C-alpha cells in the first residue's frame, strides 16, 4: 500500500485507536493490497468522546455497553442499576479506552 494513503488514513483516524497500537496498525496497513485497504477505509469507528458523553447521560440504562456490543455486561448493568452505580462510574472513567479497544478490534477483524 502507498505510504501516503496510510499516512492520510492514520492522520484522520488516529484518535479512534489505542496509542500503543498505532505503530502496529500502520505496519499492517502498509502490507495490505489496494482492495483490502479500501475495505478498511470505509469502516465506521465510534468516537471515544461521544461514547463518554453517552456513558455519562445514558450509561444508567447501559446504552454505552450495548453500543460496544458488550451485551453480557450491558444486561448486567441494566438489571442491577449500573451495578449499584459501580459499573456506571467505572464506565464513565474508562469509556474512552474501551471505545478505542472496540475500534481496534473492529479494524483487526477487517484486516
Residue 19, pLDDT > 80, answer yes
The share of the chain scoring above pLDDT 70, in percent, equals: 98
Exposed/middle/buried for residue 2 (C-beta within 10 Å: 0-12, 13-18, 19+): exposed
Residue 97, pLDDT > 90, answer yes
d(CA 46, CA 27): 22
**Residue 44: DSSP 8-state:** -
Split at pLDDT 50, 70, 90, the class of 104 is very high
Torsional class of 44: left (φ above 0), alpha (ψ -120 to 50), beta (otherwise) = beta
pLDDT tens for 48-76 read: 999 999 999 999 999 999 999 999 999 99
Split at pLDDT 50, 70, 90, the class of 4 is very high
Average pLDDT, whole number, for the chain?
93
d(CA 52, CA 5): 30
Which pLDDT score, from 0 to 100, does residue 83 have? 83
d(CA 106, CA 109): 5
Residue 66 CA, chain-centre distance (Å), reads: 13
Whole-model pTM?
A: 0.91
Amino acid at each position: 500500500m502507498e505510504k501516503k494513503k496510510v499516512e492520510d488514513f492514520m492522520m484522520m483516524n488516529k484518535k479512534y485507536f489505542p496509542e500503543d497500537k498505532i505503530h502496529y496498525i500502520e505496519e499492517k496497513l502498509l502490507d495490505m493490497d489496494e482492495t483490502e485497504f479500501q475495505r478498511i477505509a470505509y469502516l465506521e469507528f465510534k468516537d471515544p468522546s461521544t461514547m463518554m458523553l453517552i456513558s455519562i447521560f445514558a450509561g444508567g440504562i447501559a446504552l454505552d455497553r450495548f453500543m460496544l456490543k458488550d451485551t453480557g455486561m450491558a444486561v448486567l448493568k441494566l438489571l442491577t442499576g449500573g451495578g449499584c452505580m459501580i459499573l456506571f462510574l467505572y464506565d464513565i472513567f474508562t469509556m474512552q479506552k474501551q471505545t478505542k479497544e472496540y475500534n481496534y478490534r473492529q479494524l483487526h477483524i477487517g484486516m
